[in-house]
Chains A and B, each alone.
Chain A
Amino acid sequence: MPKRKRTAAEALNPDPESKKLLPQKRFYRQRAHANPFSDHALDYPKSPQNMDWDAHYPAFAGTGRTPEFADIGCGFGGLMIALAPLYPDVLMLGMEIRVQVSQYVQDRISALRTADNSHQNVSIVRANAMKFLPNFFPKSSLSALFFLFPDPHFKHRKHKARIISPTLLAEYAYVLRPGGIVYTITDVKDLHQWMKAHLEVFPLFEPVSEEALRAEGKGNIVDAVFRSTEEGQKVERNKGDKWLACFRRIEISRS
């Protein structure tokens, strides 16, 4: 696709003063994929106890709160930005492996915090969630995990790099508390079927319908999952389909 030229109007009227603080995506260009298996120069805590959440959420320092929502592969952070005002007491953490993109989210959050003191409850780490999720979150510490428009990895050889796989689901179940919800959404039907199939057969997850979630009062989350992410908005612009699949963490006892 050719580069979109700035329209004359855009050129004449630069961003209004209020938006000046916000980072601009065009300065954070990055290719869409990162290899989750290679050794990136990552900074991760040795264990969850070594994680200093106060630095991430200064407004909550000393409260002992830890993140409850994790957006895996948060991209440009649209979901968290949308959810933050809806759940002001819930800490949310985005994880993103791409340097530029995570930097963008970082700058976006600090801009929002400085501008109107909002979004104190969201933060971002540059991390490889496939490898180091248990380094950040203790057992049963999360109530929601989001996998929104993940990299589809179309080729069969690349399926092992998909963020949902039978072996990785064990780690997601480990960090989720019983009753916690996994939200997945994608515009790629094959990937949707893949994620659904693996989550359905995984013994620690049971499917939960969109209606059931809305009945529980999680409708605003579902709406945000559908519409708030940059990727979701792009799909909407292109009039593509979106497939949602949500699952609840259940407990099973040792027979």
Chain B
Amino acid sequence: MSISHFPHSLLLFSKFGTAIVASGHHIQSVDTSTGTVISSTVNASDELKNSLSKSGPIRFIAVDHSWKHLLTLCDDKKLKVWKVEGLELLHERELPKRPTSASFTADGQTIVVADKFGDVFSYTLHPLPVEEVPPSQPQEDSTTTVPNVEPEQPQSGSKRKRKSKKPKRHENPPHARDSVDSHTNPSGGTLVLGHTSLLTTFIFSQDEKYIITADRDEHIRISWYPQGYIIESFCLGCSQFVSCLHIPKSKPNILISGGGDPELKVWDWLSGKLKFNIPVSDCVKEYIKVKAQPYVRKKFKRGNIEAADGDDDGEGENEEDRNPRGEADLASVPLSGTNTPTVGDSSAHDEETIVVVQNIETVEKEGKLFIIFSVVGATALFTTAFPEAPSDSLTIHAFDFGHPVLDFTLDPTGFVWATIDRNLTEGSVSWDGRTIPVDPSYSSSSSTHPPV
């Protein structure tokens, strides 16, 4: 199956005239002036392609400031680091839990990863020498945040034995009952901080003295970095999960957050004070064409979508991903306009449009600040002026592409680059990714729009 069947789902843009796009489980780097593909993992060795397809679709990519290294996060618990030039896979490291977000520090030497267990770990750019053993040999394991643990010699011994027998099953070696290690890390990561809820995203303050983490239980937490154990404040007041955070370049004290709430929230993050709400839900709703499949418990789901007969594993959490194994997921995502019959009694949920803000950026134009944001499943990008006073009534402009926007980014000149899913428009039924071939060249599935 060719990669071209998958829309470019993630996009990054450099000031050096290249862009990196992720599509399915592949990544490509593209010349932004001509649209030619510079390098792509499609042309990689079979071995690498195999391991990429095993990892599943790429969920997250990030590049360091100097545009030397790239990291990707997939559905497995691996942190892959690539050389941007030539897209060469440098190494992959095992993470303790499935990651949700990651970032390079400004100097590019540290990678910070947030995971689904709510923890944030930091890793060195390259694995420490100890771990550069071939994967067939047992790795030194169980680094812990508590230094005074008992030596774990017998445990690593027993782990060695187990590993050789069943390398997959015994991820947790047996522990002594009185062991006090709490956050074991297979790759020697340093625990920065942790929430009890799943972390959705995080960012650094511009001076990198603070790390701002957001979770699915409405919290935005401001902690010191790297002393993540000191909490400066919480930005509290959301009533839904938080899914994206942004600090405008020209206003380093301001944090814009978006998520499941019907508004964007503007905070003075250091004090945790809410400055403004920017209501977006009403303007945005009409553009949401791809709707989330309501969560149905697996056992009910099984019976109902038997016809679809997919190896549905009940993980359809990101409805915008079109992955090859999720055929059943795709078939059962309701499309407004087509009234595709869907899972059981979920018709009641179809009426309900859930707004999930996906990405927020700001751009400065003629001395004024504008917010650009995307919404999961919407066919448009949205812009609004940054409010100067709470009483400002803001109009939200939508740039409708006619196809769902998957990701967008800003280039240094202030142009907005967006990737859209050409496979899917409203009313299109055959959007399983197989029937409509898409021109693989970059420019066909992305378009530029002047800011505001």
Chain A residues packing against B (C-beta within 8 Å)? 36-37, 46-48, 128, 130-132, 134-135, 139, 154, 156-157, 159-160, 165-171, 173-174, 189-190, 193-194, 197-198, 201-204, 252, 254
CA distance A125 to B233 in the complex (A): 23
Check B236 against A46 for contact (C-beta < 8 Å): yes
Check B238 against A46 for contact (C-beta < 8 Å): yes
Q: Which residues of A contact B236 (CB under 8 A)?
A: 46-48, 134-135
Additional A-B contact list (4), CB under 8 Å, known A36-B196, A252-B230, A254-B224 = A128-B196, A167-B194, A173-B231, A189-B178
CA distance A135 to B231 in the complex (A): 14
CA distance A201 to B144 in the complex (A): 12
Give the distance to chain B from A130, nearest Cβ to Cβ, in Å.
4
Residue of B nearest to A165 (CB): B182
Give the distance to chain B from A248, nearest Cβ to Cβ, in Å.
16
Check B230 against A198 for contact (C-beta < 8 Å): no
Q: Which residues of A contact B174 (CB under 8 A)?
A: 156
Check B233 against A173 for contact (C-beta < 8 Å): no
Check A198 against B146 for contact (C-beta < 8 Å): yes
Contact A166 B239, CB 8 Å, known A156-B179, A201-B147, A203-B229: no
Whether B162 is near chain A, meaning CB under 8 Å from some CB there, is no
Whether B172 is near chain A, meaning CB under 8 Å from some CB there, is yes
Residue of A nearest to B234 (CB): A134
Contact A47 B237, CB 8 Å, known A134-B219, A166-B191, A201-B146: yes
Give the distance to chain B from A197, nearest Cβ to Cβ, in Å.
4
Whether B394 is near chain A, meaning CB under 8 Å from some CB there, is no
Whether B175 is near chain A, meaning CB under 8 Å from some CB there, is yes
Q: Can you list 28 A-B pairs with a CB-CB distance of less than 8 A? A: A37-B196, A46-B218, A46-B237, A48-B236, A131-B217, A156-B177, A156-B179, A165-B182, A166-B229, A167-B183, A167-B193, A167-B194, A168-B194, A168-B196, A170-B193, A170-B230, A173-B230, A173-B231, A174-B231, A190-B177, A194-B178, A194-B180, A197-B148, A198-B180, A201-B146, A201-B147, A252-B230, A254-B227
Q: List 10 tightest A-B contacts by C-beta distance, closest first.
A: A167-B194, A47-B236, A156-B175, A174-B231, A197-B180, A130-B196, A170-B229, A190-B178, A131-B196, A134-B234
Q: Which residues of A contact B238 (CB under 8 A)?
A: 46
Q: Which residues of A contact B172 (CB under 8 A)?
A: 156-157
Which B152-206 residues sit within 8 Å CB-CB of chain A?
Answer: 172, 174-175, 177-180, 182-183, 191, 193-197
Interface size on B, residues (CB 8 A): 40
CA distance A169 to B182 in the complex (A): 12
Whether B4 is near chain A, meaning CB under 8 Å from some CB there, is no
Residue of A nearest to B172 (CB): A157
Main secondary structure of the interface of A (DSSP, over half): helix
Whether B374 is near chain A, meaning CB under 8 Å from some CB there, is no
Q: Which residues of A contact B229 (CB under 8 A)?
A: 166, 169-170, 173, 202-204
Residue in B145, B177, B191, B231 whose beta carbon sits within 8 Å of that of A154 in the complex: B177
CA distance A160 to B118 in the complex (A): 11
CA distance A235 to B209 in the complex (A): 47
Check B191 against A167 for contact (C-beta < 8 Å): yes
Residue in A156, A157, A159, A204 whose beta carbon sits within 8 Å of that of B230 in the complex: A204
Q: Which residues of B contact A167 (CB under 8 A)?
A: 118-119, 183, 191, 193-196
Check B183 against A166 for contact (C-beta < 8 Å): yes
Give the distance to chain A from B190, nearest Cβ to Cβ, in Å.
11
Check B231 against A160 for contact (C-beta < 8 Å): no
Whether B41 is near chain A, meaning CB under 8 Å from some CB there, is no
Check B196 against A170 for contact (C-beta < 8 Å): no
Check A159 against B182 for contact (C-beta < 8 Å): yes
CA distance A159 to B117 in the complex (A): 13
Residue of B nearest to A156 (CB): B175
Give the distance to chain A from B176, nearest Cβ to Cβ, in Å.
8
Residue of A nearest to B119 (CB): A167
CA distance A173 to B224 in the complex (A): 13
Q: Which residues of A contact B223 (CB under 8 A)?
A: 170
CA distance A172 to B257 in the complex (A): 25
Q: Which residues of B contact A139 (CB under 8 A)?
A: 231, 233
Give the distance to chain A from B303, nearest Cβ to Cβ, in Å.
24
Whether B35 is near chain A, meaning CB under 8 Å from some CB there, is no
Contact A166 B237, CB 8 Å, known A160-B182, A197-B180: no
Give the distance to chain B from A173, nearest Cβ to Cβ, in Å.
7
Give the distance to chain A from B72, nearest Cβ to Cβ, in Å.
26
Chain B 207-228 interface 0/1 with A at a Cβ cutoff of 8 Å (1 = within): 0010000000111010110011
